[in-house]
């Protein structure tokens, strides 16, 4: 098992002056997975990723990346780990071609940067100045730069923040391509839907602490209350009916919210019995709705507050 | 070795960027030339009374010092402060180019610009006024190199301390403009009123101008111990501040 572990973060803490940015974070990342650190801005995601990349030193705790210590082996890791940083820029008037040539020349061997830009949909911008690119194009350029050395591990900090839905989906596809070509991806995001759709496993991070860790499906399944079924029955219901619903195995609760009937169930299998009983009782099922909890709900439940943006 | 190669690569690109930045281009290459043409057309280059040299003979090296100061203080400081604020240094730091290579590349580009500015002044002075050189070439080159390194070191002080690009620009301006007009670089020193001459002694550029002029007119480096000491001290101070306070973001 050990050799499939690409990254191990153990009990890492970091403070800036009086502010504790990280208070004892531990997690690991397996080879070939997309791991997401999810949390609000200021939760400590960027600090974590910068410590992993060797750009910052932890106050305590240890990091092992590809079996190396990012602090001691920073130079060696640069060739095996690509990073796309938040809030990094290039000079306004450098041409894309010049930037890619320059950064390629820093690595001993690189993949063909023209092919990279082609895949990122930037091959028609070779002669543009950096300052002329849109936000999404800049992001894709920086991802290309992170991929220049054909790294085994890719760190992506706030991959899609500030992009339109189309741009986000394009980047999601690129990240999946990276995984499918055998690379390991660690990304941070404050979008819960991004973590849920893109990541194989996520760590929910809040105020410098890891609040939950697991696959999105497992985190969601572990939510108390589970899936919610809502229906507007079309007639008034007696307590007797509610009790009958509660009697079904797998139903965690049934109550009325205004004219809507809300039933909590533990899994989709319960739906068969539930629908059977409801139609037997003659309830109107026209707006029958099944709502699974999302990571957003998980975040709310493990941190006790809404995700602020 | 690899750092040196990377520094050259970065320097080459920085030089390209420099030519795309019209204000840096104007202030280092055009402005000193304009001042020399202006004063030169007023006073010509006929020898001063009792001297072998005229105004241009005397001043061309002072204008060279002006180019050095503009590159070392204005261009270097504002570039580095802006690069830090915009996260460009961050981006370089995450690449295999060492941090030292990035700064060295910047210095190489600025030095190349200085040489271009100096050559331009020299060509104009030769063609228009047949300027003459009395000193020893190796000594003059040594003085030129020392002044370049020293004033770049001075530029690294605000570049290291400034928190924002705007702060860097303000600090560079505060250092640069008084020095420019009081040191004898842009305006001949003898035109200054006495109280300003006293103040000018405190400016590093004054010493750079005096050293360059002295060696140009036939003096030896060792005739200028005070100037040498001040320039070396400024260089060391810049290095010290950069080592202690330089931040990447």
Which residues in chain B are closer than 8 Å to A90, comparing Cβ atoms?
Answer: 88, 91
Which residues in chain A are closer than 8 Å to B16, comparing Cβ atoms?
Answer: 94, 98
Closest Cα in chain A to B21? A93
Closest Cα in chain B to A50? B94
Closest-CA residue to A199 (of A162, A160, A152): A160
What is d(CA B84, CA A216) in angstroms, rounded to the nearest whole number? 38
- What is the pTM for the complete model shown? 0.85
What is d(CA A185, CA A227) in angstroms, rounded to the nearest whole number? 30
The neighbour count for residue A2, using CB atoms within 10 Å, is 6
Report whether B56 contacts B125 (CB < 8 A). Answer: yes
Q: Look at B96 and A55 and tell me if their CB atoms are within 8 Å.
A: no
Closest Cα in chain B to A89? B88
Provide the angle, in degrees to the nearest 10, between the axes of the packed helices B31-43 and B55-69. 160
What pLDDT, in 10s, does the model give residues B178-194? 998 899 888 888 888 88
- Residue in this structure with the two tokens 């991070």, named with its chain if needed: A205
Q: Look at B93 and A106 and tell me if their CB atoms are within 8 Å.
A: no
Element (H, E) at A6: strand A5-16
Residues 6+ apart with CB under 8 A from A42: none
Report whether A13 contacts A2 (CB < 8 A). Answer: no
What is d(CA B248, CA B88) in angstroms, rounded to the nearest whole number? 9
What is d(CA B184, CA B186) in angstroms, rounded to the nearest whole number? 6
- Band (pLDDT 50/70/90 cuts) for residue B63 is very high
What is d(CA B246, CA B76) in angstroms, rounded to the nearest whole number? 14
Report whether A18 contacts A170 (CB < 8 A). Answer: no
Residue A247 structure tokens:
């009697």
Residue B168 structure tokens:
């860097």
Cα dihedral angle (B132, B133, B134, B135), rounded to 10 degrees? 170
Q: Look at A103 and B94 and tell me if their CB atoms are within 8 Å.
A: no
- Name the 3-class secondary structure at B230: helix
What pLDDT, in 10s, does the model give residues B89-146? 989 988 988 778 888 999 999 999 999 999 999 999 999 999 999 999 999 999 999 9
ipTM: 0.87
What pLDDT, in 10s, does the model give residues B196-242? 888 888 999 999 999 999 999 999 999 999 999 999 999 999 999 99
């Amino acid at each position: 098992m050990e050799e499939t572990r690409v990254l191990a973060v153990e009990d890492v803490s970091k403070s800036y002056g009086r502010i504790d940015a990280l208070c004892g974070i531990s997690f690991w990342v397996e080879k070939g997975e997309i791991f997401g650190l999810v949390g609000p801005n200021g939760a400590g995601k960027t600090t974590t990723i910068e410590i992993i990349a060797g750009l910052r030193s932890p106050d305590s705790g240890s990091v092992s990346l590809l079996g190396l210590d990012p602090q001691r082996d920073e130079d060696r890791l640069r060739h095996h780990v690509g990073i796309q940083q938040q809030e990094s820029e290039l000079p306004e008037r450098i041409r894309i071609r010049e930037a890619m040539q320059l950064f390629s020349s820093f690595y001993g061997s690189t993949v063909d940067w023209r092919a990279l830009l082609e895949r990122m949909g930037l091959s028609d911008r070779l002669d543009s100045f950096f300052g002329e690119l849109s936000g999404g194009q800049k992001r894709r350029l920086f991802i290309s730069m992170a991929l220049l050395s054909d790294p085994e591990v890719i760190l992506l900090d706030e991959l899609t923040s500030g992009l339109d839905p189309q741009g986000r989906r394009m980047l999601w596809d690129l990240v999946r391509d990276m995984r499918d070509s055998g690379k390991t991806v660690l990304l941070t995001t404050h979008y819960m839907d991004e973590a849920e759709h893109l990541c194989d496993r996520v760590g929910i991070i809040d105020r410098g602490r890891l609040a939950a860790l697991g696959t999105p499906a497992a985190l969601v399944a572990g939510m108390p209350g589970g899936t919610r079924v809502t229906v507007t029955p079309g007639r008034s219901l007696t307590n007797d009916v509610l009790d009958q619903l509660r009697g079904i195995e797998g139903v965690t609760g049934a109550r009325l919210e205004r004219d809507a009937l809300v039933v909590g169930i533990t899994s989709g299998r319960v739906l068969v019995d539930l629908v059977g009983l409801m139609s037997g009782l003659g309830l109107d099922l026209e707006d029958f709705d099944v709502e699974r909890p999302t990571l957003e709900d998980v975040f709310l439940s493990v941190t006790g507050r809404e995700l602020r943006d | 070795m690899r750092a040196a190669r990377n520094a050259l690569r970065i320097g080459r690109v920085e030089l390209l960027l420099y030519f795309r930045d019209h204000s840096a281009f104007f202030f280092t290459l055009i402005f000193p030339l304009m001042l020399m043409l202006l004063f030169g057309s007023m006073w010509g280059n006929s020898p001063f009374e009792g001297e072998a040299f005229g105004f241009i003979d005397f001043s061309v090296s002072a204008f060279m010092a002006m180019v050095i100061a503009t590159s070392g203080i204005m261009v270097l400081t504002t570039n580095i402060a802006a690069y830090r604020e915009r996260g460009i240094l961050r981006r370089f730091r995450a690449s295999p180019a060492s941090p030292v290579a990035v700064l060295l590349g910047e210095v190489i580009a600025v030095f190349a610009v200085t040489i271009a500015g100096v050559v331009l002044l020299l060509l104009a002075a030769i063609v228009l006024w047949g300027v003459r050189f009395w000193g020893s070439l190796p000594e003059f080159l040594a003085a030129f190199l020392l002044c370049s390194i020293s004033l770049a070191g001075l530029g690294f002080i605000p570049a290291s301390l400034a928190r924002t690009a705007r702060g860097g620009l303000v600090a560079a301006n505060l250092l640069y403009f008084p020095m420019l007009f009081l040191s004898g670089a842009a305006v001949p020193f003898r035109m200054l009123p006495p109280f300003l001459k006293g103040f000018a002694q405190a400016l590093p550029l004054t010493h750079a101008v005096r050293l360059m002029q002295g060696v140009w007119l036939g003096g030896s480096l060792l005739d200028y111990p005070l100037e040498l000491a001040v320039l070396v001290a400024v260089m060391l101070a810049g290095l010290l501040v950069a080592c202690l306070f330089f931040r990447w973001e």
